[in-house]
Amino acid sequence: MAKLYFRYGAMNSGKSTALLQAAFNYEERGHRVLLAKPAVDTKGDSAIVSRLGVTRDADFLLGPDDSAYEVFATHRSRTVAETGEDISCLLLDEAQFLSRFQVDDLLRIALLEGIPVLAYGIRTDFQTAAFPGSRRLLELAHSLEELKTICRCGRKAIFNGRRFGDEFVFDGDQVAIDGVEVTYESLCGVCYLQESGGRLGSL
C-alpha cells in the first residue's frame, strides 16, 4: 500500500534539499516523479529552491482552490502519454501552504492511485500556530519524520522567528514569504521566549 509521508522541520532544516535528493534517488533508479508546490510560495517563482543553491522547476503549482487530485491526474496522464511510463512518486514542497482539502487529496492519491506522496513543510508559523496544511498532514499522514536543525545557541530549533529588518515581530499575516518582505530564523524554545518576552503566539 502506498503511503502519505510528512517530513517537517523548522526553517533551515533542509526540507527542500531532502526533497530534491529524494527525487534524484528515484530517478537514478529509473523511476519517474512529479514535483509540485503551492503557488503562494513565490520564492524561486515556479522552482523548488534549496538553501544549498540547488534548484529544480516544479512540474506543477497548486493554486489555493485547485484540486490536488485532479491536477496530479492531469500531469500523470501527460507523463504517461509522452514517455509511456507511469509516475512512481509525488513530492510536494512547502506543504504547510496547502488547504486541508488538498491534503485530503494527497491521501486519496496515495490510497486510491497507489502513488507514494512525500510532503515537506514546517509545522508552525512565527506565532507557533499550526498551518492548516500541516495540521491536516499531522492528522492523516501514515509516516511523520522530523528534519532537525539547530538554534543559534546550539539547541535543537523548533520554532520559526520572523524578522522585519533587525527586529523580531510577533504579529501580522500568517503567510509572508521568506526574503520578500521578511526573513526567518530558526529558534529553540528558550530563545523564542527570550525574543518574545516570554509569550507564545500573537502579542
Q: Report the catalytic residues.
A: 94
Given a contact cutoff of 8 angstroms between Cβ atoms, the answer to whether 49 and 16 are in contact is: yes
Three cell numbers, residue 202: 500573537
**Strands of the 159-164 sheet, one edge to the other:** 167-169, 159-164, 183-187
DSSP 14-54: -HHHHHHHHHHHHHHTT-EEEEEEETT--TTTTEEE-TTS-
* Contacts (Cβ under 8 Å, ≥6 apart) of 141: 3, 4, 5, 6, 119
Give, as one character, the DSSP assignment of residue 178.
B
- What is the strand order of the sheet 4-8 is part of? 60-62, 32-38, 87-92, 117-121, 4-8, 143-146
